[in-house]
Amino acid sequence: MTAQPFAPLASFAPAPLRRLLAEGRLALRSGPLTVRITSSEAIVARNLALLYRQHPAADAPPFADFHVQIARPAGPRRWLRPQVEFRLDGHAPFLSLPAAQAFALLEWGMNWCIASHCHQYLVLHAAVLARGEDAVLLPAPPGAGKSTLCAFLAHRGWRLLSDELALLEPGSARVWGLARPINVKNASIGLLRTALPEAVFADAVPDTKKGTVAHIAPPPESVAEAALPARLRWIVTPRYQAGAPLSATPIGRPEAMAMLIDNAFNYDVLGEQAFVTLTDLLADVPCVDLHYARLEDAQGWFEALGR
Amino acid sequence: MSTGQGWTPAVLALLLREPQGLAALGEHDWDTLLRLARKANLLGRLSCAVDQLPPDALPACVQPHITAGRALAARQARAVRWEIDCLRTALEELDLPLVLLKGAAYLAADLPFARGRFFSDLDILVPRARIGEVEGVLTKHGWAATHHDAYDQRYYRQWMHELPPMRHLRRGTVVDVHHRILPLTARFDPDPASMLEHARPVEGLPGVRVLAPADMLLHSATHLFHEGELPNGYRDLLDLDGLFRHFSATEADFAGTLDARTRALHLDAPLAFARRQCARLLGTPGLPAPAPAGMRQHLLDALYGHALRPQHPLLDNALSDAARALLYLRAHWLRMPPWLLARHLARKAVMRARPDEADAAA
């Protein structure tokens, strides 16, 4: 097998891209990870071409971290209201979804691969943004507005490392990013379309289990630096609160520790190593609870961090 | 090696046993090996095998996956040691030793082939006469019965060789409490009391016992022989190979003891099966030459060829699913008489098709 070098996905024409995907030959690089994807779904090819334009891609490189597939399960539903399922090496960890959600399912499936297999990192459910080498970690429960704020800041001077998964290097404050598309939901979609006219949106998909979802392409500058780790300097738990004045309240270390453990996917796997990594981190890094009503106010507050 | 081809059970087993061979693999070989190992629940074993190599022996892209595998193996070992201690404390109230089976036993006895072996449930063996007391004391210590459905409860209690799995309320860990070796309905009836009697203490773990070497191997063989669903068939075959190799090297006259225990426990068929599949698929040394095969044996060999290797799309072909379905039927055939089998499978089919109604009817 001759290994082709990696080149931006945009350099693949639509027809060859569809063929590579159908034959399971397309590999995409996202931060430190390479994922090989198989799918014959048109929406998968279309959204990959739109949202992963600048990501390095290759035709059947010798090694990939994960080999994933979006395929239609066998049975009569292949044709009647078709469904798709996500598979890692033939194993389908979730129930199938309507074919219209094929791309969203691929994104969620890749998140699952990382959260349940990448124990070389302490994986946190959090967004990560960076300015230069300094990164801010944004852990928050679903519905707090984390992805909305992350998408906004990523288009206002911050480098996007991740909107969903923070990859902490155990024993250090280093964090690795993926620069993958940002998944926003429901009312946030319209709001961000207005606030970020330059952002690239994929078509919104209604009626998913998270409501209507849309993916926003990561800014090209973030993708260009996706392989570079950053150093965690701040932890901010953001919460959107309509009509509330902007307020920032420091969080005590014990409380911050409990919150980070709650947001870790593999704290139990890494055990003592995870405990030491997080306690060392919290010894140096302040943790702040941020309430805001307007994205611009939050942007100003983030701008002032460390200055 | 190209994708899929060449990755026979024997080739994989050799790499795990003699990891020097791993140093010769290129990125593409590793790509395939990691996929097979992950799917066959062998990433922990592979990661522990890599420990014997110099640190720069692997391509850089492989190292993170080995680090992840090591973390999983360490977590498993940590969690199982804790669980063993909790179970031992509970059974002490009844003056019963803790007799471990399968994965937990291999780990407690620190058998070299089982380092980094993944498994989910803890299996223990208790005297049948004390089963009620054991269930009571485990409940007191936080384990609760699962399978609340009345049919499942009756299925386990009336026919099976174990209690319905008990799950710890806080830790979520599952213990299978065995009181026999095989279901009450099975064609074979090995004597559990004799296995308990021969169980040996574990060095460094007071109050904990594992089956004697020959019994441990026979138990493993009997379960694989009767197992219908074989997602971990390859891992279990590696156990048998490891047990044959380890005890042949460490126990005086292991083959003789094994033959004697096999006769005493009436487990000739499972032992013949274990020897045959280990010799055929893994080239396990020191086994007597297998008997010449008839039509029936040829068919079984072909079916087991599909089931006792990693179940991965790279290795599967058009016949693999059918082969596994036939082995599922065969296992049930061995586990229960035909009239009960028909009733049970019909019941399972209805429950799968209409879960709510089946619940209501139970």
Closest residue in A to B39 (Cα) is A89
Give B152's contacts (C-beta < 8 A, 6+ positions apart): B164
A269 CA: distance to closest CA in chain B (Å)? 5
Judge whether B2 lies within some domain.
no
What is the mean predicted confidence (pLDDT) over A134-162?
Answer: 95
Residue of B47, B74, B68 lying closest to B58 (CA atoms)? B47
CB A69 within 8 A of CB A24: yes
Maximal C-alpha separation, chain A: 61
Judge whether B128 lies within some domain.
yes
A264-294 pLDDT, tens digit per residue, is 999 999 999 999 999 999 999 999 999 999 9
Same domain, A96 and A135: no
A119 CA: distance to closest CA in chain B (Å)? 4
B191 CA: distance to closest CA in chain A (Å)? 38
> Which one of B27, B71, B74 has the shortest CB-CB distance to A62?
B27
B65 touches chain A (CB under 8 A): yes
A84-134 pLDDT, tens digit per residue, is 999 999 999 999 999 999 999 999 999 999 999 999 999 999 999 999 999
Name every chain B residue with its beta carbon within 8 A of the beta carbon of A34: 61
Contact B75 A271 (CB under 8 A): yes
B328 CA: distance to closest CA in chain A (Å)? 19
How high is the pLDDT of residue B354? Answer: 63
Question: Distance between CA atoms of B65 and B68, rounded to whole angstroms?
Answer: 5
**Range(s) of the domain holding residue B113:** 9-361
**Range(s) of the domain holding residue A98:** 7-117
**In this predicted model, which residue has the larger pLDDT, A73 or B238?**
B238
The helix (run of H) or strand (run of E) holding residue A27 is strand A26-30
B113-127 pLDDT, tens digit per residue, is 999 999 889 999 999
> Which one of A62, A90, A119 has the shortest CB-CB distance to B71?
A119
Same domain, A250 and A147: yes
A64 touches chain B (CB under 8 A): yes
Judge whether B15 lies within some domain.
yes
Judge whether A69 lies within some domain.
yes
Judge whether A1 lies within some domain.
no
Which range (A20-34, A135-149, B87-101) has the least confidence?
A: A135-149
Contact B61 A91 (CB under 8 A): no
From A117, A139, A171, the end of a domain falls on: A117
The CATH number linked to A236 is 3.40.50
Same domain, A107 and A136: no
Same domain, A112 and A154: no
Using pLDDT thresholds of 50, 70 and 90, give the confidence band for residue B161: confident
Q: Can you list the pairs that B218-221 forms with residues at least 24 positions away whose Cβ atoms lie under 8 Å?
A: B218/B190, B218/B258, B218/B261, B218/B262, B218/B265, B218/B267, B218/B270, B218/B271, B219/B101, B219/B102, B219/B181, B219/B195, B220/B102, B220/B274, B221/B267, B221/B270, B221/B271, B221/B273, B221/B274
B350 touches chain A (CB under 8 A): no
Judge whether A63 lies within some domain.
yes
Contact A89 B316 (CB under 8 A): no
Contact B72 A90 (CB under 8 A): no
B1-57 pLDDT, tens digit per residue, is 446 678 999 999 999 999 999 999 999 999 999 999 999 999 999 999 999 899 889
Judge whether A45 lies within some domain.
yes
The token pair at B179 is: 């009181």
How do strand A165-168 and strand A122-131 relate by DSSP bridges?
antiparallel
Give A237's contacts (C-beta < 8 A, 6+ positions apart): A138, A139, A140, A144, A251, A259, A287, A288, A289, A290
Please, is B151 exposed, middle or buried when counting C-beta atoms within 10 Å of its C-beta (0-12, 13-18, 19+)?
Answer: middle
Contact A268 B313 (CB under 8 A): no
Q: How many domains does chain A have?
A: 2
A13-62 pLDDT, tens digit per residue, is 999 999 999 999 999 999 999 999 999 999 999 999 999 999 999 999 99
What is the mean predicted confidence (pLDDT) over A244-260?
Answer: 96
Same domain, A73 and A135: no
Same domain, A11 and A152: no
Using pLDDT thresholds of 50, 70 and 90, give the confidence band for residue B162: confident
Closest residue in B to A122 (Cα) is B68
Q: Is the pLDDT of residue B358 over 70?
A: no
Same domain, A207 and A261: yes
How high is the pLDDT of residue A189? Answer: 96
> Which one of A63, A271, A273 has the shortest CB-CB distance to B31?
A63
Closest residue in B to A34 (Cα) is B61
Closest residue in B to A267 (Cα) is B75
Judge whether B70 lies within some domain.
yes
% of chain A residues with pLDDT over 70? 97
> Which one of A63, A91, A268 has the shortest CB-CB distance to B39?
A91
Same domain, A127 and A145: yes
Q: How many domains does chain B have?
A: 1
Question: What ipTM does this complex have?
Answer: 0.95
Same domain, A203 and A231: yes
From A60, A86, A117, the end of a domain falls on: A117
Judge whether B290 lies within some domain.
yes
A149 touches chain B (CB under 8 A): no
Contact B313 A32 (CB under 8 A): no
The token pair at A64 is: 């990939």
Same domain, A107 and A128: no
Judge whether A292 lies within some domain.
yes
Same domain, A192 and A207: yes
Mutation site, A33, A89, A118, A266, interface B, largest B CB count within 10 A: A89
Chain CA centroid to CA A194, Å: 22
A40 CA: distance to closest CA in chain B (Å)? 17
Question: Distance between CA atoms of B181 and B194, rounded to whole angstroms?
Answer: 11
Contact A89 B38 (CB under 8 A): yes
Question: Distance between CA atoms of B63 and B61, rounded to whole angstroms?
Answer: 6
Judge whether A38 lies within some domain.
yes
How high is the pLDDT of residue B360? Answer: 39
Listing from the earlier edge strand, what are the strands of the sheet with A182-185?
A182-185, A211-216, A205-208
B322 touches chain A (CB under 8 A): no
**Average model confidence (pLDDT) for chain A?**
95
CB B23 within 8 A of CB B51: no
> Which one of A1, A90, A118 has the shortest CB-CB distance to B28?
A1
Judge whether A106 lies within some domain.
yes
> Which one of B26, B69, B75 has the shortest CB-CB distance to A268?
B75
How high is the pLDDT of residue B278? Answer: 97
The helix (run of H) or strand (run of E) holding residue B92 is helix B63-92
% of chain B residues with pLDDT over 70? 95
B314-330 pLDDT, tens digit per residue, is 999 888 988 998 988 88
Same domain, A147 and A283: yes
Judge whether A178 lies within some domain.
yes
